[in-house]
Every structure is written in C-alpha cells, then in structure tokens.
Amino acid sequence: MDVDPMLSVTLLGTGSPMPDPNRAGPATLVSAGGEHYLVDAGRGVLMRLAAADLGAPDLAAVLITHLHSDHITDLNDIVTTRWVMSIEPAPLTIVGPVGTKAVVAHIVASLAPDIGYRMVHHADLGHPPPVEVVEVEGGPVRSFGDVAIRCGPTDHKPVQPSVGYRFDHAGASLVVAGDTVPCPGLDGLCAGADALVHTVIRKDVIAAIPIQRLQDTLDYHSSPEEAAQTAQRAGIATLVLTHYVPAIQPGGGDDWRQLAAAHFDGRIELGDDLHRVEVRPT
Ligand SMILES: [Zn+2]
Ligand SMILES: [Zn+2]
C-alpha cells in the first residue's frame, strides 16, 4: 500500500463473532499521515493486513474499543508477529479501556513457552515482546505525529467500560464507534467529525430468530437505522457500516444501505473486507 498522506479507513474485518468464510473478525485500519492505526484485532486481522500490503511491524498503535473476545481474538498474533518480524526492538503500543492491561498481561503470559523457545533459538531476540499498554476512559489519547487521537465512552453494557476513538488529521476527522447503542458519549465524539465507522446488527432480522442467545444481543448494539440517526445528529458526511450481523453475502448490502438512508442524508459506505474509504474535510 502506498503511503497516503490523507485520512482513510479500510474495513479489514467486517464480520462478527460468528465465523464466516468471507468476513474476518472486527478490525478497522485507519491510515493518516503515512501512519497506520488498527482499531480492534478480530479473527484473521493479520491476513487482511497482509492483503493491504501491511504487517504487524507497520502499526503505530493498536486501539481496542472493548474487551469482547471477537474484538481482541488475534491480539496475541499481533504481539508475537510484530516481535519476531521486527529487526530492531519495536515496542507495540496498545490503547484500550480499563482492563486492557490485565488482559494483555494474560495474553503475554499465555505465550510464555513460545517466547522462551524463540529467545533460546534466536540470539538476537534477547528480550520478550515489548508491549506498552495505555488505558483510557475519555479525552485525548496521545498525538502520533500530526494525528490527534481522542476517545469517548460508549454504551455497550453490560460490557463496561467501552470506548470509541476519534482521529483528526489535516482538517479531516473520523470516529470509530465500536459496539454501542446510541449514547451521549458517542454523540460528543462525533460532533463536527466528517466520517463515522459504526458496527451494526439487523435488529429486524435477529428479532425474528427464536434463539434467546441471539435475542440477548439486541439491547447492546445499534441497528443501521440507529447508526444513521447518530450520524445525522452529529452532521456526519460519511457513514461507514461494518460488523454485519447477520453476515451480508459478498457484494450485497443494498437493503442495509436503504435502512440507513431513511435516517441519514449523507454518503453511506459498506462492503466486503478491505473496502476502503477516503475521508476529506467537509
Ligand atoms: Zn461487543
Ligand atoms: Zn462486536
């Protein structure tokens, strides 16, 4: 992938907890100013990153929205692969809600045998994977070069805490909401932003399936209609839908687009894994 000074978003994984042969787990790549930021690290993330001509050593930071397993299932792969594929020590910065430090410590602990084997076998790997975890609740996260990142609380209860992230670069701004119902924290993060990436589930479809465990998921996700209403309230220009439940057939999704368009005047983007959207100041 060429270095692109613009702000762009690539849907690396548009899937959900349900394994799908066509859709990797939740993961969104934000690229700005020649740097790359990964939001969530679901199933198959490094395969999709490779398809975008990038690898674990190329990530400026990994940002986690919440600790649901489908959003972090391949975090261990990033930790290990960055470690063994970096020639020089390359600390991995992981940003996430409170609780992320403990989860990452457990991930690294689970890798102890592998870390031991590799350190014995490769004389130049004289250290375990260097990982720095930054726990956030709201407000500025950190500036990476000329990309400012901040976060705000979302509402994915009983998953607590959960956060969304906003990226501002060269006059353009993008919010990645993660899993949430409409809430003031997300509204605040979206105010004045140009684009919003929002996870969605079809509540009309799921509500008709008589399986209690599916029904349970209705109250902590947004529908395409609700995501559209959030975008409309904030004056967002481009709404990007991802994390489709149930999975959209490859190339499909017109019905999802229509549901959102009834509540939102702007541009609606959805698609298959690796769908890329450029974000420009509006
Ligand atoms: Zn979740
Ligand atoms: Zn999810």
pLDDT in tens, 153-164: 999 999 999 999
For residue 151, CA distances in Å to 23, 85, 158, 187 come to 27, 30, 19, 12
| Ligand number with the minimum distance to the CA of 199 | 2
pTM score: 0.96
245 Cβ partners below 8 Å, 6+ apart?
Answer: 16, 18, 200, 201, 202, 206, 217, 221
Q: Where are the beta strands (DSSP E) in 85-211?
A: 92-97, 131-136, 139-144, 147-153, 163-169, 172-176, 195-201
Question: Which is the catalytic residue, given 20, 40, 58, 70?
Answer: 70
Interval between CA 68 and ligand 2 midpoint (Å): 7
70 has catalytic annotation: yes
Tokens 């990476």, residue located:
144
Return the bridge partners of 23, or none: none
Q: State the Cα–Cα distance between residues 94 and 75, nearest whole angstrom.
A: 9
State yes or no: pLDDT of 66 exceeds 80. yes
Interval between CA 179 and ligand 1 midpoint (Å): 5
Give, to the nearest 10 degrees, the angle between helix 224-234 and helix 254-261.
40
| Ligand number with the minimum distance to the CA of 42 | 2
Q: 197: closest CA among 175, 219, 214?
A: 175
Interval between CA 128 and ligand 2 midpoint (Å): 30
The pLDDT tens digits for 209-232 are: 999 999 999 999 999 999 999 999
Q: Coil, helix or strand for 261? A: helix
Q: State the Cα–Cα distance between residues 198 and 186, nearest whole angstrom.
A: 10
CA angle 105, 106, 110 (to 5 degrees): 120
State yes or no: pLDDT of 22 exceeds 90. yes
Interval between CA 92 and ligand 2 midpoint (Å): 23
Q: Which CATH number fits domain 7-198+271-279: 3.40.640.10, 3.30.450.40, 3.60.15.10, 3.40.50.300?
A: 3.60.15.10
Report the chain's mean pLDDT, rounded to a whole number.
95
Interval between CA 178 and ligand 1 midpoint (Å): 8
Here the tokens at position 200 are 């969605």
Confidence of residue 5 (pLDDT cuts 50, 70, 90): low
Interval between CA 109 and ligand 2 midpoint (Å): 25
Q: State the Cα–Cα distance between residues 64 and 200, nearest whole angstrom.
A: 17
Interval between CA 5 and ligand 2 midpoint (Å): 30
The pLDDT tens digits for 30-49 are: 999 899 999 999 999 999 99
